[in-house]
């Protein structure tokens, strides 16, 4: 059972992922990466735990091929829904079970395509799966916070190369979203405004960092981007909850998201990247102050001793130059 342990100094929680655990000796030899059968392709459905969601023709049974998008529990879960447990204290140290869920959203059946190269309809289905699974986990007893991410490429931490997202649902709000929520609520208390709405207004005025605007979405490099080419996608109007997205907004987001990924794919030659989606946690009461957004960060540099020791980032690319570069990429009309 994976476990949460609390750092007694900072109060931050760490997942000790016993299910994913490697024995110390596993780290000694370099992995040879033997050719493996991909569990995310048609015909290999039994290699994953039974699906929790899939889009396929109604006539076909669950866990059969011919799905469009498929969601399965992670075989090596960082969070598991099995047992709730209160925080236990062990003198100075506190721990609790890593109660929650950890799922994989398989973006499609083709091993060689990804969200930059599939037709946009595929992205739409992925966003639909995000929304459905988000809404499911939100209503579970462990659903205090839900983190949707993509790790694309081995250097960005993907253990399987077949294009996929991951959904983590957990019983507490981790520190980065917590400090964002607090900072945004504080800004609202001072100004009566959502800070993300203020940023959008400021970015429109001073357009150096804007990559793209559509009817309902903005894409820009944030002013204090922590890493080269960090890019945000946000709804232009105040939208605190991703799961409240309408079908037409979702379809527009699919276009914008795919085009943004194509800027990276074409401009930076299919770089490894990470994506994470920040949205108001389930039950959040300060919805006037928070605004959902996606961050996409290509993995081009290595966070090292300075970042580990300080939690402060050194960005070796000037945000305005990164935005100019991404803005100018010719994304093409189709995959």
Q: Which residues are catalytic?
A: 164
Which CB, 55 or 276, lies closer to a copy of itself? Answer: 276
* Interaction of residue 229 with a copy of itself, rule CB under 8 A: yes
* Interaction of residue 37 with a copy of itself, rule CB under 8 A: no
**Least spacing, CB of residue 32 vs a copy of itself, in Å:** 15
* Interaction of residue 306 with a copy of itself, rule CB under 8 A: yes
123, 254 Cβ separation under 8 angstroms: yes
Among the listed residues 106, 150, 218, 256, the single contact to a copy of itself using CB under 8 A: 150
- Max CA pair span of the chain: 61
Residues 63-102 that bind a copy of itself (CB under 8 A): 78, 91-93
The structure tokens listed for 314 are 């050194």
* Interaction of residue 233 with a copy of itself, rule CB under 8 A: no
* Interaction of residue 35 with a copy of itself, rule CB under 8 A: no
The structure tokens listed for 270 are 């299919």
DSSP 158-220: -SS-S-EEEEEEESS--HHHHHHHHHHHHHHHHHSS-HHHHHHHHHHHSGGGEEEE-SSEEEE
The structure tokens listed for 287 are 């919805």
Residues 199-218 that bind a copy of itself (CB under 8 A): 199, 202
Which stretch in 50-58, 126-134, 234-242, 318-326 sits in contact with a copy of itself by CB under 8 A? 318-326
DSSP state of 21: P
Among the listed residues 63, 135, 140, 180, the single contact to a copy of itself using CB under 8 A: 180
d(CA 260, CA 322): 13
Residues 117-146 that bind a copy of itself (CB under 8 A): none
Distances (CA, A) of 309 to 150, 174, 246: 25, 19, 42
* Interaction of residue 237 with a copy of itself, rule CB under 8 A: no
Residues 238-297 that bind a copy of itself (CB under 8 A): 267-269, 271, 274-278, 295, 297
- Number of residues lying near a copy of itself (CB under 8 A): 92
Among the listed residues 132, 321, 331, 335, the single contact to a copy of itself using CB under 8 A: 321
The structure tokens listed for 321 are 């130059």
* Interaction of residue 13 with a copy of itself, rule CB under 8 A: yes
218, 203 Cβ separation under 8 angstroms: yes
């Amino acid at each position: 059972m994976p476990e949460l342990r609390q750092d007694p100094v900072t109060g931050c929680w760490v997942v000790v992922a016993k299910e994913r655990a490697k024995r110390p000796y596993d780290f000694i030899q370099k992995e040879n990466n033997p050719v493996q059968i991909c569990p995310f392709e048609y015909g290999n459905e039994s290699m994953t735990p039974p699906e929790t969601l899939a889009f396929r023709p109604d006539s076909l049974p669950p866990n059969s091929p011919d799905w469009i998008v498929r969601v399965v529990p992670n075989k090596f879960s960082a969070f598991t829904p099995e047992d709730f447990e209160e925080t236990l204290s062990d003198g100075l140290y506190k721990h609790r079970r890593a109660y929650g869920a950890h799922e994989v959203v398989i973006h499609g059946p083709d091993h060689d395509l990804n969200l930059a190269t599939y037709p946009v309809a595929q992205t739409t289905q992925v966003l639909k799966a995000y929304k459905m699974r988000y809404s499911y986990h939100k209503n579970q007893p462990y659903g205090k916070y839900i983190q949707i991410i993509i790790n694309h490429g081995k250097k960005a931490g993907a253990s399987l190369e077949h294009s996929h997202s991951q959904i983590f649902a957990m019983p507490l709000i981790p520190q980065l979203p917590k400090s964002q929520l607090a900072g945004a609520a504080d800004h609202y208390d001072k100004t009566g405004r959502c800070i993300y709405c203020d940023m959008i207004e400021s970015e429109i005025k001073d357009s150096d960092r804007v990559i793209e605007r559509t009817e309902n979405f903005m894409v820009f490099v944030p002013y204090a981007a922590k890493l080269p080419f960090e890019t945000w996608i946000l709804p232009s109007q105040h939208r605190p909850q991703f799961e409240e997205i309408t079908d037409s907004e979702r379809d527009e987001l699919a276009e914008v998201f795919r085009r943004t990924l194509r800027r990276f794919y074409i401009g930076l030659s299919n770089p490894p990247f990470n994506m994470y989606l920040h949205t108001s946690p389930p039950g959040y009461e300060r919805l006037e102050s928070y605004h959902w957004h996606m961050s996409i960060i290509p993995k081009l540099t290595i966070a090292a001793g300075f970042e580990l020791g300080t939690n402060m980032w050194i960005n070796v690319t000037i945000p305005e130059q990164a935005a100019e570069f991404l803005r100018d990429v010719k994304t093409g009309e189709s995959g």
